A and B are shown apart, each in its own frame.
Chain A
Amino acid sequence: MNLFFAVLTPFLGAVLVAWASRFGRSHAAWAAGGVALTALAWLSPLLSQPFAGTTVVQRLEWMPSVGLDLVFRLDGLGLLFAGLILGIGLLVILYARYYLSERDSMGRLYAYLLLFMGSMLGVVLSENLIQLLIFWELTSLSSFLLIAYWREREMARMGARMALAITGAGGLALLGGILLLGEITGSYELSVILASGDLIRGHSLYLPTLILVLLGAFTKSAQFPFHFWLPHAMAAPTPVSAYLHSATMVKAGVFLLARLFPALSGTPEWSWLVGGAGLCTLLLGAVVALFKHDLKGLLAYSTISHLGLITLLFGIATPMAVVAGVFHIINHAIFKASLFMAAGIIDHETGTRDMRRMQGLWQFMPFTATLAMVAAASMAGVPLFNGFLSKEMLFVEASEMASQQSFGWLLPVTVTVAGIFAVAYSLRFIHDVFFGGKPLELPRTPHEPPRWMKVPVEVLVLLCLVVGLFPAQTVAPLLAVAAASTLQTALPEYNLAIWHGFNPALWMSVTALVGGVLLYLVRRPFSLLHDRFEGQLDARRLYNALLQGLMVIARRITALLDVGSLQRMVFVFIGFALLLGWMGWSGDRSVLTGSRPLLPVDAMSLLVTAVLTVISVAVVILHRQRFTALVLVGFVGLVVSLIFVKFSAPDLALTQLLVEVVTVVLLLLALYFLPQHSPVESHPLRRSRDGLLALLVGGGVGALAWAVLTRPHSSIGDFFLANSVSGGGGSNVVNVILVDFRGFDTLGEITVLALAGLAVYALLEKLHISGPSQNADGRDWNWDLHPVIMASFTRLLLPLALLVSVFILLRGHNLPGGGFIAGLVTAVALIMQYLANGVAWTHSRLSANMHPVVGVGLLIATLTGLGSFVFGYPFLTSTFGHMKWPLVGDFELASAMAFDLGVYLVVVGATLLILIHLGLMHGKEPVRGKGGH
């Protein structure tokens, strides 16, 4: 369970932090840090296990009936990543506290950051691949929010959209890959999949599986040709970039490569695809990085390049290359996070990120400069720093590959060239920013940042040094378990040391260092060339063209299906219903009337039904006079509810009556802004055709109803009737079904109702439309807003109506009534006050703010459902008991009554929210203050 809680903590913490931020910026930071530490604390008892060679698997039954469990796994690789996510996460939280300006919302950033942290933890700690994918998608979504943090900026929104589109598309491909993996191995659990590598590689579906999985990994890790989203994601605040592009988001892709390495690697396809993409990305990123003028742009392309390096190592796929790949994951996370933070400090203190404008910052911030230099040296692969170690391992692997294939020499050459560029851009990062003259017209005079803003950078830079100098004493055990769990076999012999003697790798390192310095010195012509073609060779253009194309296709398909004419669509729909119904009838030889004896008809029912029929036909004939039609519809509704009473459905009748009232009010509110008459627009022939169709379909439905009703049948209703008292503790079956048997449906329905209410509110808030100043006959409106007799009577009626609604609510479990009906009674009683006494009068006595009512109602209903978990029962299990009250006597209490109270509140809140805001839409602002008229 610890792993489950470790993943859950950041998600819950996000809410907490968003709330805590209202008390101050530091509170939010402390809360966020506390959440990350709590997640770490959940993991801590298990930390020793991977080092002892055991893989922790924790299972939480979720839907055992369909074989879905929440399964979490902690092994060396998961441990390494969880450590990076939480460790660097903590440093980023500290750093962000000082980075964000006063204008930006602290709570929002931390909440998003924690959401992201939880999603990443879920990815690296999942045992089940489907579950991994869910968290994978969550990282896409939460990174979207993070990148678009400055949502008022066009670039941020665009970058976030692009990242979401690319990684989301990759996630879709990954889903396909995972499903194929599950199809091949028969399980979605990593323990099984990692052990069936031979089965997977030998399967005919291996290649599609591999490609789909790799699409997921490459899009996430910004591998060529999907790399272009990453530089655009730099529109995010720098702490976010430091987190996303060093230790987390983009590492999720290489994590997936490492995770599925035993299952998918070891074939030529793997080597070509993974190695090829890695090599291209390594070179492309390194070359472009040198020519970027934006500090973060340089780091972005450098990140792409280093991700390519890691991918390339996994593509080489020898055990030693995997060790190097895992090692570089660690090293890159450390130095890149510190470099982003340093870039953020520079940006923060100078107000610009353009390297052409800043020089000689050394004299203003020597300490930051020193930190940045160490980190940049590590990025360049200078000996004594951690980046050197893993880069040297890459050189060794590359030079060994050279002799094994015909064009093998290309590999060490390309890698060395990339190394040269890496040295050159690292040098540029340092020299252009901190040295080389005086700064040009900076927006601010730079100085050292606040003390605690430097601490995260110091910690990371210290790690660069310690790992670089004493690898065997520091990082070796962690690397060993992580690499071992990646390989799932014994580790190869290797020695983490700085000096390995005079071997090819050493010469490659020397070449890279010397070549890099030389390249930096002569870069100007290349740089001009780059600036000349800047933006012309951009994958983003392709992406935009692709997106445009997709939109065009989507629009065409939509236009094909949606003709934009309601009449025609209804015609097609009804026509098909008629056709299918006719086919059903004609294929079946049975008779229309069944065997059930007909019930006797009394004269009253006949009379009422006849009246109903006549008035219904009249609605159709008079529908163009809208007000008349509305009155007629009210008549029909009343008669229908009388019929409900006749056929023993009092709940339905009560609901129908109240809905009728609410509907009339709603339609009148809308009618005020609409024409009073519907014009004749269609041809008489067409009307005849539609009339014929309507007659046929109506006849068909009638015949169908007749056929069903005259046949004996048993429905699910019998079950409810038999079990209502014993199972739900109520004798009103309708209510027991609503709050107990089908309580989950009801919960869904009131949620929809609440959302609809809020949506109507959101759409209508601040909307003011002027209505007509005269009625349809051209007469002025009456001057009397609120006739005094009506006002007085409705005021008297309010307490009585409320009393009735409470009564109906309380007894609803056993006799007709319940939350829905009681809610409608209250809502109608309150709307009555608005009608008769006006908005100002009512608002001065009753808060217009209905959001809390809706929210509290939903909360009560949900908590009642959750309450059954406390007693070990499934969601929404209800209980009941009887108690004796003085005066009242025997009184039944059921937990479903609390649920019904929730329903009641949501109905009241949502109905009022909708009707009142429709009413407030008229031209003038509501007059506040003194009541009356």
Chain B
Amino acid sequence: MLTVALSIAFVLVGAAVVLSAWRLLRGPSAPDRILALDTLYINAIALLVLLGIHLGSALYFEAALLIAMMGFVGTVALCKYLLRGDIIE
């Protein structure tokens, strides 16, 4: 049962990765691209958790945790740049 669920999840997350890559390439505006990157971070978390379940290992969970905690800083910085130009002020 779990393997079937995992397979379906992998396919869906894989599709999400491809779609976020598409949005990243297409844009057309800078916020679109930032959003695409942020979505990829979410997809990466999902991928890592799925991989952890697949392999039965908790090690991947930490990478997922770090992405969840730190990944958005890049997004914040990019957005701040669009808003103000100067990100540390």
Contact = CB atoms under 8 A, between A and B. Distances in A.
Contact of B85 (A631, A660, A771): A771
B59 A772 contact: no
B87 A775 contact: no
B70 A816 contact: no
A628 B31 CA distance: 10
Nearest to B84: A781
A650 B65 CA distance: 12
A825 B66 CA distance: 9
B34 interface: yes
A628 B88 contact: no
A832 B37 contact: no
Contacts of A628: 27, 30, 33
Interface string A598-642: 000001100110010011001000000001101110110011011
A611 B22 CA distance: 9
Contact of B65 (A775, A785, A804): A804
Contact of A804 (B67, B69, B78, B82): B69
Interface string A658-675: 101100110011011000
Task: With a 10 A CB-CB cut-off, give which of A638, A658, A800, A801 has the most chain B CB atoms.
Answer: A638
Given A632-B24, A650-B63, A657-B63, A781 B71 contact: no
Given A604-B10, A618-B25, A645-B48, A782 B63 contact: no
Contacts of B48: 642, 645
Contacts of A634: 37, 74, 78
A229 interface: no
A249 B83 CA distance: 64
Interface string A52-71: 00000000000000000000
A669 B80 CA distance: 11
A656 to B, nearest CB: 10
Nearest to B86: A922
Interface string B1-43: 0000000001000100110010011010010011011001100
A631 B44 contact: no
A653 interface: yes
B83 A784 contact: yes
Contact of A835 (B18, B70, B76): B76
Nearest to A773: B85
B24 A835 contact: no
Interface string A680-702: 00000000000000000000000
A618 to B, nearest CB: 6
A804 B63 CA distance: 12
Interface string B50-89: 0100000001101101110111011011101111111111
A607 B20 CA distance: 13
Nearest to B65: A804
A608 B14 CA distance: 8
Contacts of A413: none
A672 B41 CA distance: 25
A794 B80 CA distance: 14
Contact of A631 (B34, B63, B71, B73): B34
Contacts of B21: 611, 614-615, 635
Interface string A386-424: 000000000000000000000000000000000000000
A816 B89 CA distance: 35
A797 interface: yes
B24 A635 contact: yes
Interface in A755-811: 771-772, 775, 781-782, 784-785, 787, 790, 794, 797, 800-801, 804
A645 B74 contact: no
Contacts of B70: 657-658, 661, 801, 825, 828
A123 interface: no
Task: With a 10 A CB-CB cut-off, give which of B21, B36, B51 has the most chain A CB atoms.
Answer: B21
Contacts of B27: 628
Contacts of B86: 672, 771, 919, 922
A646 interface: yes
Contacts of B88: 669, 831, 834-835, 839, 915-916, 918-920
Nearest to B30: A627
Chain A interface size, as a band, is: 35 or more
Interface in A818-840: 825, 828, 831-832, 834-836, 838-839
Contacts of B81: 627, 668, 671-672
Given A645-B48, A657-B63, A816-B62, A835 B69 contact: no
A782 B84 contact: yes
A650 B71 CA distance: 16
Nearest to B80: A835
A658 B62 CA distance: 13
Nearest to B41: A638
B77 A835 contact: yes
A828 B41 CA distance: 17
Contacts of A615: 21, 24-25
A927 to B, nearest CB: 9
A915 B17 CA distance: 31
A785 B81 CA distance: 11
A657 B41 CA distance: 10
Nearest to B13: A604
B73 A611 contact: no
A654 interface: yes
A332 to B, nearest CB: 63
A650 B60 CA distance: 8
A631 B59 contact: no
Nearest to A665: B77
B16 to A, nearest CB: 11
Nearest to B62: A816
Contacts of A922: 86, 89
A826 B47 CA distance: 25
Nearest to B82: A775
A665 B73 contact: yes
Contact of A801 (B59, B60, B69, B74): B69
A302 B59 CA distance: 79
A380 to B, nearest CB: 71
Interface string A111-127: 00000000000000000
Contacts of B33: 628, 631-632
Contacts of B14: 603-604, 607-608
Contacts of B84: 781-782, 785
A664 B17 contact: no
B7 to A, nearest CB: 10
B72 to A, nearest CB: 9
Given A615-B24, A800-B69, A835-B73, A772 B85 contact: yes
Given A664-B74, A804-B69, A646 B51 contact: yes
Contacts of B17: 607-608, 611
B35 to A, nearest CB: 10
B77 A657 contact: no
B44 A642 contact: yes
Contact of A672 (B44, B74, B87): B87
Given A607-B14, A775-B85, A801-B69, 17 more contacts: A604-B10, A607-B18, A608-B14, A611-B17, A628-B30, A632-B33, A635-B24, A635-B37, A650-B62, A657-B70, A657-B71, A660-B74, A661-B74, A664-B77, A781-B84, A816-B62, A828-B70
26 contacts: A604-B14, A608-B14, A608-B17, A615-B24, A631-B24, A631-B34, A631-B78, A632-B33, A638-B44, A645-B48, A645-B63, A650-B63, A664-B78, A668-B78, A669-B87, A672-B85, A771-B86, A775-B82, A781-B85, A782-B83, A794-B76, A816-B59, A832-B76, A835-B76, A835-B87, A839-B89
**Top 10 closest A-B pairs, CB basis?**
A919-B88, A782-B83, A664-B74, A631-B33, A611-B21, A668-B81, A834-B88, A661-B73, A781-B84, A665-B77
